[in-house]
Amino acid sequence: MKSILLIAVLSAVAQFFMPWWIIAPIAFGVCFWQSESAGKAFLEGTASVTLVWTAYTVFLNIQNGGVLATRMGELLLKQPNSPGLMLTLAPFIGGLVGGIAGLAGFYVRQAFMPRFKL
């Protein structure tokens, strides 16, 4: 829970200034430092980024009335009138990156610093 919050807050702030992929090193670092198991690391990485991306996309989409998400769904996925697809796809992609990066962070700690404990 703590990791999810940490990744979410850190990545949300960082993404305002840095490229989107900053989510990967942040998830990696936090899971390296905090996670207790591989499964939890993956879950924490995924959940936190998905949470941030979902919250922000939903906010932007609501104030836009869904205009652009609808157009992009049609453009990229050839699905007319389904803004929901983009609202699902974007957080999924972000979450996937966060999850795998988190997992990598945990495994690296296990491999190189098995006794690391805060």
Partner 1 sequence: MRIFRALFVTLLTGALVWALNRPWGPAPAFGPFLSPFTGFWQNADNAAGLTSGSEIDVEGTTQPVTVNYDEYGVPHIFAQNDADAYFSQGYVTARDRLWQMEFQTHAAAGRLTELVGERALETDRFNRRMGMGFGAERAAEMMLADPTSKMVVEAYTAGINAYIKSLKSGQYPVEYKLMGYAPEPWTPIKCAYLLKLMTSTLAMGADDLRMTNIMRKYGPGVVADLFPDYPTLESPIVPAGTKWDFKALPIPATAIDAAMQKQLALRTAPSFDAGLVQRDAAIGSNNWAVGPDKSSTGYPILASDPHLTLSLPSIWYQIQLVTPTMNVCGVSLPGSPGVVIGFNQKVAWGVTNVGADVLDFYTIKFKDAKQSAYWHDNQWKPTTARIERYKVKGKPDVVDTVRYTHHGPVVYSTGQKPLRSNIPTGHAARWIAHEPANDLRCFYLLNRATNYADYRKALSHYVAPAQNFVFASVDKDIAISPNGKYPLKWKNQGKFILDGSLAAHDWQGWIPADQNPIVKNPPRGFVSSANQFLTDKTYPYYLGWQFAPSERGRRINERLTTMTNATPDSLRNLQNDNLNLRAVDALPTMLSLVQAQSLRPDQLAALEVIKKWSRRNDPDEMGPTIFTMWNEKLMEGIWKDEFDGGDTLPMRLPSFDRTLALLQRDPSARWFDDVKTPARESANDILTSSLKAACDSLTRAHGPMSPTWAWGLHKSTDVRHLIPGLDALSAMDVLSGGGSSVVNATTARTGPSWRMVVALGPNPKGYGVYPGGQSGNPGSPGYQNLLEAWRTGQLNELVYLKSANEKHSKLTYSITLK
Please, what is the minimum distance in Å from the beta carbon of residue 42 to partner 1? 10
By beta-carbon proximity to partner 1, the closer residue of 5 and 71 is 71
Count of residues near partner 1 by CB under 8 A = 41
CB atoms within 10 A of CB 24: 19
116 counts as binding partner 1 under rule CB under 8 A: no
Please, what is the minimum distance in Å from the beta carbon of residue 8 to partner 1? 13
Looking at 3, 26, 28, 44, which residue binds partner 1 (CB under 8 A)? Answer: 28
**CA-to-CA separations, 5 to 52, 68, 110, in angstroms, rounded:** 10, 30, 22
8 counts as binding partner 1 under rule CB under 8 A: no
What is the DSSP secondary structure assignment for residue 36, as one 8-state letter?
Answer: S
Return contacts of 69-72, CB within 8 angstroms, 24+ apart: none
